[in-house]
Amino acid sequence: MKQLCSFLLVLFFAGSLRAEDWKLIWVTSDYAWHTHQAEGSLTRSGAHLKGTLLGLDDKGVKYELDITLSSGSASARFKVSPELDEELENLSGTYRKLTHAGRLGCIEEIQLINQYEYVGLFREFKCEP
């Protein structure tokens, strides 16, 4: 009985998590502008997105994200691996979900920034009531 309860609890929490496909652009500047792209799945649990996206330019680069959405705003912890410092950076910005947009019907976009970098995330999906 205890194993059955544990199994049902795992199924309940697994059902509340959804993997969604996202596209990312990362822009940084030092003495020049640098842009990188990535894509992959982020797991959504309520107003929280978390996961690792893989670089399109360099398949060995991973972009780790932990995002909290609140109304029209977003805050995030962001890390690029491998990088020299590999530290998590704090970013904040905006969040929008639009219906009747994009080729599939709905889009979501997140725009995050700090003093050194910009991170933009985008996904298209079918609108469901």
Report all structural domains of the chain as residue ranges with CATH numbers, in order of start: 18-126 (2.40.160.90)
Per-residue pLDDT at 111: 97
The DSSP bridge partners found for residue 91 are 76
**pLDDT of 86 strictly over 70:** no
Per-residue pLDDT at 12: 44
Query: Residues 26, 80: contact at Cβ < 8 Å?
Result: yes
Per-residue pLDDT at 127: 84
pTM reported for the whole predicted model: 0.81
Query: Residues 68, 89: contact at Cβ < 8 Å?
Result: no
Q: Which residues contact 69 (CB under 8 A, 6 or more apart)?
A: 47, 48, 49, 95, 110
Per-residue pLDDT at 88: 83
Q: What integer best gives the mean pLDDT of the chain?
A: 85
Which of 2-11, 61-70, 83-92 comes out lowest in average pLDDT? 2-11
